[in-house]
Each structure stands twice: as structure tokens, then as C-alpha cells.
Chains A and B, each alone.
Chain A
Amino acid sequence: MTEIIVVTSGKGGVGKTTTSASIACGLAQRGKRVAVIDFDIGLRNLDLIMGCERRVVYDFVNVIQGDCTLKQALIKDKRQETLFVLAASQTRDKDALTPEGVRRVLDELIADGFDFIVCDSPAGIEKGAHLAMYYADRAIVVVNPEVSSVRDSDRILGLLASKTHRAEQGNGDVQEHLLLTRYSPQRVGKGEMLSVEDVKEILGLDVVGVIPESVDVLSASNAGTPVILNEDSTVAQAYEDAVARLLGETLPLRFVEEPKKGFFARVFGG
């Protein structure tokens, strides 16, 4: 049984690709066979975050147009045996992606016995974003605790409920999860940032993970290593938890409380 998960958000720059890379990698670490697909046609980026940019020969559009086989285009991850990347094409022709073509590639991955297909959606609500979510069974909606990101995510929730294959066929809902990124418990404590509870209440979604704001995300992308592999990082631990929850485990949220302050900091403010 293959599960198709879309990582989406509406707004750009909130951490979709970082999340796709880490979730895919985390699932593979747990022995699942995972394919992660970059749907951002024209703006390929997942390959860089996964650190396989120099091994891209064929891409998603090549497969759809029959220039190569799917096997030729799938890039096997150097770290995880069971993880494969399908890069986005750099073509500017957005029509290169068709619903039938996407379906064919997904069907072939399903027939090949993949456990998970992670679809990294582009920002916006145009064709690429639409097709990334269209065949999804589940959606991870990546949100920054910030007004424009929350509003855009709500638009995306509307589309998930109406413009997906499941919605159109009346074939059950796409299961939606909220993943908060760039979360700063200190700023939440000071009343400067929306809290997990605030965002949860506004969007009405279950929380699959809260990823703390950290410099580790940039260093991981600099190095081309999914941040989940940096075991010392709280970001990695938070992504590990999210992967476990996706697989059905119940875990309390970590890294959402402010670190305890000393006496002087409490009296004089910090």
C-alpha cells in the first residue's frame, strides 16, 4: 500500500523543501521505501537540499515525455538505501506537467512497491501546486507562525477539500496535518509570535510537528544534507517526532516551551 503525501503551504519560503527532504529521509531511515518528487517545474531546488544536484541526468518532465524510463530518472540517495529523488525539470514550459503524466509516474512508483511518495509542492496555487496535491492521500501543510503564511495555508486547505482527486471522486478526504516551522518559544512567551495553539485553533488542524527556528537549517542546506540527519540539532529531533507521528505514534510536542530563566532574567526581563 503506497501513501502519497503532499508537502504544501501556499506561501513561499516557509520550509516546504526542507520539510520534504527531512520527512522523506526520516521515513527512509525507518526502513520505508520512499520517492520524493520535486514539483517546482522551472525552479528545481530539492536536488540541492538533498545534495544530489550533480547527479541529475533526467528529470520528472523527461519521464512524463518519454525521453527516459522512470528508473533512469530516479536518483538513489547516497546515505539511505531506500530513498530516491525525482528532480524537477528546469524547463520554463509549465504545461510540461500534465495530470495524466503525473498519474502515470505515480502508478509506476506504486507498482514498484514504494511505501511513500512525497510530493514537494511549489509555492502558489498555480498548476504545479495543483498537480502536487491532486493525487495526495495526505497533506502536510507547512506554516510559519505569521499572518500571511496562516492565511495562505487556509486557502490551500480550501483547495485540498475541493480540487483534489479524492474530493472530486468523493473518495474520502485528504488527511491534513499542520507542521509549524521557524517556531520561537521565546517570542511566543513574550506575546510577539502566534503560538501553536493559536494556529491550531485558527486553521482547525491536528499538529504533526513543530520545528524550532534554528541556524541548523541553513547549515544543512549549505551542505546538501537533509537537516534531520544532524542528530545534535533540535530541528532534527523535531522532524524525527513528526515522522513518528505520521507513522501513527503519539508523542508529546517538544521544543515548544521557553527555556527556564534565571532569577535576574525574570526580575529584569530578558
Chain B
Amino acid sequence: MGLLALFRRTPPSASVAKERLRIIVAQERSARGGPDYLPLLRRELLEVIRKYVNVDPDAIQINLDREEGQEVLEFSVALPEKAARQPGRKSSRQ
């Protein structure tokens, strides 16, 4: 990189690509081999939760772990900060 490049402030795009790939590949690998209904289950659960809490689609993680003959479906939702919690139904009630 030359001197002129020091004044460029944008992060190198390759590292952005690497980070995005790392996340999506890990996510797709964890879903691999799992039951076909997982994506649909995820979407429907998201719809139900969104009736009460305004969560981001990315805030829901579903993982299927296999350990010694038993399967564990792990489900986690990251709730937003308090200010952002606006149940979808509230407005219709007022």
C-alpha cells in the first residue's frame, strides 16, 4: 500500500467478505442434515414473537445438536433494548 492509500478510510472489502462468509457458512452448516421444517419453524416462531416483541429476524437462533442418540433443539431469542420493545398489538388496542 502506498502513502496515498493511508488517506483512504474504507475498510478492505476482503475482510468484510470473509466475516460475512464465516457467519453464513457456519449458520448453513448447522442447519445441514437437520429436519426440513426448521426454516419454516423459525419463520412461524418469529411471527408469533413479533406479535409481542419487536425483534429482529436475525435475533432468533435455532440450533439442532445431536448428542449420544438424542437430539436437542436449542432456541434463543435476543430481546431488543427496552426502548425498542413495542408490542405490535398495542396501537390497535388504543
> Binary interface profile of A, 50-83, with partner B (CB < 8 Å = 1, else 0)?
0000000000000000000000000000000000
Contacts of B13 in A (CB 8 A): 191-192
- A151 close to B25 (CB less than 8 A): yes
Interface majority SS (helix, strand, loop, mixed), chain A? helix
Please state if A192 and B14 are interface contacts (CB–CB under 8 Å).
Answer: yes
Question: Interface with B: A31-39, A132-140, A224-232, A260-268, which one?
Answer: A260-268
Contact A158 B29 (CB under 8 A): yes
Q: What are the residues of chain B within 8 A of A190 when measuring CB–CB?
A: 1, 12
- Contacting pair A191 B2 (CB below 8 A): no
Residues of A within 8 A of B5 (CB): 269
Residue pairs across A and B with CB atoms within 8 Å: the count is 57
For the residues of B in contact with A, the DSSP-based class is helix
Please state if A198 and B18 are interface contacts (CB–CB under 8 Å): yes
B35 within 8 Å of A by Cβ? no
Task: Give bound CA distance, A191 to B24, whole Å.
Answer: 21
Bitwise, B16-41 to A at CB < 8 A (1) or not (0) is 01101110110011001100000000
| Interface residues, chain A, with chain B CB atoms under 8 Å away | 146-147, 150-151, 154-155, 158, 162, 188, 190-195, 198, 202-203, 265-270
Q: When A and B form their complex, which 7 residue pairs have the shortest distance between CB atoms, in order from nearest?
A: A191-B12, A269-B2, A269-B4, A198-B18, A158-B32, A269-B5, A191-B14
